[in-house]
């Protein structure tokens, strides 16, 4: 039976690939997409999400959520994703409509109407929408089966500051609410996402699928990779956000352990740091399944196999 999910994202090329993977995977049933200010401002993240719906030919409803963090100003990442947030493909005005309801209200309404532990939240951007949902309507908590998020780091260090990963840094107060909420969390931090590099042969294998969605994916990866390849002198860029969807489809590709993760919300120096108690040196609750290893070949096999389905005639 497919798992009901809500994807909360800030496309961003890697968020976009996570959407395309989810749309092509019967293991998940995407109830809706909420978008948030993050990699680029909200007006672009919801436009980019709707572009992916058009590309994939899917009618999943798209909602605009919060345009800035709960208490801070928005930091964006055009230096990685380009001014459009999705550089690497030609931007177009999508046919997929923007739903009139606010993304936070959509998530609250959907969860309140759901059975207990029946909906999985998949945030792949700053946690502003999810933190606001929990803060505004805690009655939703028993309805959340699990939160499978991309964010944070341990051994890998930060990617926006020496100690913080972008998604957590943008809205640490929202992240703190989410990590303290008591519902099961699976966390894909940089320690695992930096193992799934979009190397040349992997991108060429996707391009060779020769269908419009695979072409768009190869184009987006071709742009998205340039910043990280030069920063890390790596043979490809980390394909962060699709790790969340891949875990839902094929968890056996990943290795993790339950431990405590807490968020730094006060220090100017280490704001947004995810303190991962990997060796259980505190008595803090094990609130997170911290994922730290992945079969990267298997991950790209899965992604390529699912992108290939976009070329199959109906
Ligand atoms: O730090 C990587 C994360 O920040 C990814 O989700 C990327 O899309 C950006 O949102
Ligand atoms: Ca993202």
The pLDDT, as a whole number, for residue 270 is 98
* Closest C-alpha among 132, 134, 238 to residue 188: 238
- What ligand is nearest to the CA atom of residue 165? 1
pLDDT digits (tens, 9 = 90+) for 71-107: 999 999 999 999 999 999 999 999 999 999 999 999 9
Which atom of ligand 1 is nearest to 193's Cα?
Answer: 2
Which position has the token pair 């966390």?
Answer: 187
172 lines ligand 1 (CB under 6 A): no
Q: ∠ CA(213), CA(234), CA(90), 5° rounding?
A: 30
Give the model's confidence band at 219: pLDDT under 50 very low, under 70 low, under 90 confident, else very high. Answer: very high
pLDDT, the chain, mean: 97
- The residue to mutate among 35, 41, 125, 196, having the most atoms of ligand 1 within 8 angstroms of its beta carbon, is 125
Q: Centre a 10 Å sphere on the Cβ of residue 92 and count the other Cβ atoms it contains.
A: 10
Q: Centre a 10 Å sphere on the Cβ of residue 68 and count the other Cβ atoms it contains.
A: 18
Sign of CA dihedral 295, 296, 297, 300: positive
User: Residues with catalytic annotation?
Assistant: 240
Q: Centre a 10 Å sphere on the Cβ of residue 137 and count the other Cβ atoms it contains.
A: 16
Mean pLDDT computed over 162-169: 98
> Helices (H), strands (E): how many in the chain?
12, 9
The pLDDT, as a whole number, for residue 193 is 98
240 lines ligand 1 (CB under 6 A): yes
15 lines ligand 1 (CB under 6 A): yes
Q: How far is CA 192 from CA 68, 170, 185, in A?
A: 27, 20, 15
The pLDDT, as a whole number, for residue 223 is 86
User: What tokens were used for 182?
Assistant: 């008591």
Q: Is the peptide bond before 272 cis (omega within 30 degrees of 0)?
A: no
Examine the pLDDT at 261 and tell me if it is beyond 60: yes
133 lines ligand 1 (CB under 6 A): no
In this structure, the residue with its CA closest to atom 10 of ligand 1 is 125
Please compute, for residue 11, the number of CA atoms within 13 A of its CA located in the half-sphere on the CB side. 34
Q: Are 159 and 272 in contact (CB under 8 A)?
A: no
pLDDT digits (tens, 9 = 90+) for 118-138: 999 999 999 999 999 999 999
Taking the whole predicted model, whether its pTM rises above 0.75 is answered as yes
Question: Which option is the CATH number for 3-311: 3.40.1350.10, 3.90.245.10, 3.30.2020.30, 3.90.1150.10?
Answer: 3.90.245.10
10 lines ligand 1 (CB under 6 A): yes
Cα(80)–Cα(36) distance, integer angstroms: 17
The pLDDT, as a whole number, for residue 191 is 98
The pLDDT, as a whole number, for residue 158 is 97
Give the model's confidence band at 314: pLDDT under 50 very low, under 70 low, under 90 confident, else very high. Answer: low
The pLDDT, as a whole number, for residue 1 is 82
| 271 Cα–ligand 1 center, Å | 17
Alpha helix (H) residue ranges in the chain: 13-23, 42-56, 78-81, 103-112, 128-136, 166-170, 172-179, 190-193, 200-207, 212-232, 242-249, 296-308
The pLDDT, as a whole number, for residue 313 is 65
pLDDT digits (tens, 9 = 90+) for 22-58: 999 999 999 999 999 999 999 999 999 999 999 999 9
């Amino acid at each position: 039976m497919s798992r009901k999910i809500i994807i909360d994202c800030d496309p961003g090329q890697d968020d976009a690939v996570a959407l395309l993977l989810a749309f092509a995977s019967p293991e998940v049933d995407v109830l809706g997409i909420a978008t948030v200010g993050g990699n680029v401002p909200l007006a672009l993240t919801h436009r980019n999400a709707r572009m992916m719906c058009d590309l994939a030919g899917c009618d999943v409803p798209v909602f605009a959520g919060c345009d800035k963090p709960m208490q801070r100003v928005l930091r964006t990442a055009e230096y990685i994703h380009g001014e459009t947030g999705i550089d690497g493909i030609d931007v177009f005005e999508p046919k997929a409509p923007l739903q009139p309801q606010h993304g936070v209200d959509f998530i609250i309404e959907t969860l309140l109407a759901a059975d207990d532990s029946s909906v999985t939240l998949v945030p792949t951007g700053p946690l502003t929408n999810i933190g606001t949902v929990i803060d505004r309507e805690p009655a939703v908590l028993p309805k959340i089966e699990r939160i499978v998020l991309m964010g944070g780091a341990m051994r890998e260090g930060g990617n926006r500051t020496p100690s913080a990963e972008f998604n957590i840094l943008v809205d640490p107060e929202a992240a703190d609410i989410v990590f303290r909420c008591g519902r099961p969390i699976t966390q894909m931090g940089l320690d695992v996402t930096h193992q799934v590099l979009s190397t040349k042969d992997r991108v060429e294998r996707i391009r060779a699928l020769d269908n419009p969605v695979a072409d768009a994916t190869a184009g987006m990866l071709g742009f998205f990779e340039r910043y990280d390849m030069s920063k890390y002198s790596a043979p490809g860029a980390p394909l962060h956000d699709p790790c969340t969807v891949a875990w839902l489809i094929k968890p056996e590709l990943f290795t993790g352990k339950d431990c405590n993760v807490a968020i730094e919300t006060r220090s100017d120096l280490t704001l947004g740091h995810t303190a991962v108690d990997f060796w259980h040196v505190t008595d803090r609750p094990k609130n997170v399944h911290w994922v730290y290893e992945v079969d990267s070949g298997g991950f790209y096999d899965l992604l390529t196999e699912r992108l290939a389905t976009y070329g199959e005639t109906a």
